[in-house]
Amino acid sequence: MKIAVLGGGPAGSFAAELIAGAGYPVAVYDEKLAWEKPCGGGLTAKALERYPFLAADGTPKRFIERAVLVASNGARACMRLRQPLVIYSRKVLNGLLLDRAARAGAAVVQDRVTGAERRDHGWRLEGKQGHYQADFCVVATGARNPLRRLGTEIQPRDAYVALGYYVPRQQEHIEIQFLERLEGYIWVFPRTDHLSVGICGRIDSEGTPSLRRRVELYMAERGIPIEGSTFFCHLLPSLAPESFDQNRVAGDGWAAVGDAAGLVDPLTGEGIYYALRSADLLASCVREGCVGEYSSRVQADIMEDLRLGAVISRQFYRDNFLLGPVTTRMVQFCRRSPAFERLMQDLIAGTQDYLGLKARLLRQIPVTIWEIATSCWRSRDSHEPFQVSSPV
């Protein structure tokens, strides 16, 4: 069976490596190959635990041990992460995974497939540089998928816009800023040689110009220069709860992985773990000769948790709790309750899934209330284990 992988990002490259390593003829088609993508690049502890080569490899990367959460009212929670994040340049990460695919035996073709026609039991693929044949297609084209009949059909309600700037500066911690009336957040992520400063928000709540004004105001207030910085804009899948039932991840002679399958955390926007995990699940199905089981395995392993995450995301960004936004109360609880901070750290690390979140919250409510009450009684202003320096 000749397999074509359409897209050379993390999902496509990893699928190509694993399938080629099992002895199948594989070709990866990607127009840009390894290229810089200023948003993203963060690998959670969950991803590193399952795929430890990502931390052990000698390619340039940043290990981040500090995180700052900032509420819309200015309250700050500063955390020293028990499980550090690893942040790659996307060009470096994509290059690493493409190299691994090539070493496993996959052919890497610099071309973009813009059309796929089903013929008998195979495919005729139309690229910008030529035509190709395949028996099976792995759709790893990302959120902007030109093959509308293959993969997730993203509606406006199912997407975030991520935009911002590639800034030639440095800092040691990540920062997440929540804003009023925004289903999303501003981020500052340190890469190996620059900062990624951006904002993501659901496109049915705010337009792109409004999001750009918000992140530029944030940068101006903090002295982060726009001059000399490179602007970027990208689309992220973030499926609404009602969209999971219609989500298409496989069909006759094809299967989608990563963003093309809509597999992105609806609350955080993190997608690299799900790109790698869906590629892993598909490769296992190919090796075992049961490709028809891919949809059910993705459903059980990934989508049920993400579906609940989509429900929680709406409540997290839109609802109030104790007469204030949920995001503000979350930051304030992190400042005063070590137990609640540990919960948030596990969510950031990806080690706390959404299916088990409600039960954990219920179990630790008495401890959290006691810690908050004790903190207030002692009139402690905050719980900050380190001082944060300016990024400029």
pLDDT band at 69 (very low <50, low <70, confident <90, very high): very high
Determine the pLDDT at residue 215: 95
Determine the pLDDT at residue 310: 94
**87, 172 contact by CB (below 8 A):** no
Determine the pLDDT at residue 206: 67
Task: Provide the phi-psi class of 381: left if phi over 0, else alpha when psi is between -120 and 50, else beta.
Answer: alpha
Using CA atoms, how far residue 142 sits from 67, 107, 184, 257, in Å, is 28, 20, 20, 9
pLDDT in tens, 170-185: 889 999 999 988 899 9
Q: Tokens 């901070």 sit at which residue?
A: 341
The answer on pLDDT for 134 being more than 80 is yes
**26, 129 contact by CB (below 8 A):** no
Beta bridge partners of 186: 177, 199
Determine the pLDDT at residue 388: 43
The answer on pLDDT for 79 being more than 60 is yes
Determine the pLDDT at residue 205: 62
| Long-range contacts of the stretch 328-333 (C-beta < 8 A, 24+) | 328/71, 328/72, 328/73, 328/75, 328/178, 330/69, 330/71, 331/69, 331/70, 331/71, 331/75, 331/76, 331/77, 331/178, 332/71, 332/75, 332/77, 333/368, 333/372
Determine the pLDDT at residue 217: 95
pLDDT band at 387 (very low <50, low <70, confident <90, very high): very low
pLDDT in tens, 329-375: 999 999 999 999 999 999 999 999 999 999 999 999 999 999 988 88
**285, 297 contact by CB (below 8 A):** yes
Name the packing angle between helices 272-288 and 10-21 (round to 10°): 30
Total residue length of the chain: 392
The answer on pLDDT for 268 being more than 70 is yes
The answer on pLDDT for 242 being more than 80 is yes
The answer on pLDDT for 263 being more than 50 is yes
Rounded to whole angstroms, the Cα distance separating 39 from 198 reads 7
pLDDT in tens, 301-332: 999 999 999 999 999 999 999 889 999 999 99
% of residues, the chain, pLDDT over 70: 94
The answer on pLDDT for 44 being more than 80 is yes
Rounded to whole angstroms, the Cα distance separating 80 from 100 reads 33
CATH 3.50.50.60 corresponds to the domain 3-41+88-153+246-309: yes
Q: Where are the domains of the chain?
A: 3-41+88-153+246-309, 156-237, 319-377
User: Which amino acid, residue 364?
Assistant: Q
Average pLDDT on 149-162 reads 87
Determine the pLDDT at residue 176: 96
Rounded to whole angstroms, the Cα distance separating 191 from 164 reads 14
Determine the pLDDT at residue 296: 96
The answer on pLDDT for 39 being more than 80 is no
Least confident of 41-45, 51-55, 270-274: 41-45
Q: Note the pTM of the prediction, 2 decimals.
A: 0.92
CATH 3.40.50.1000 corresponds to the domain 156-237: no
Name the packing angle between helices 357-377 and 338-349 (round to 10°): 140
Rounded to whole angstroms, the Cα distance separating 350 from 47 reads 8
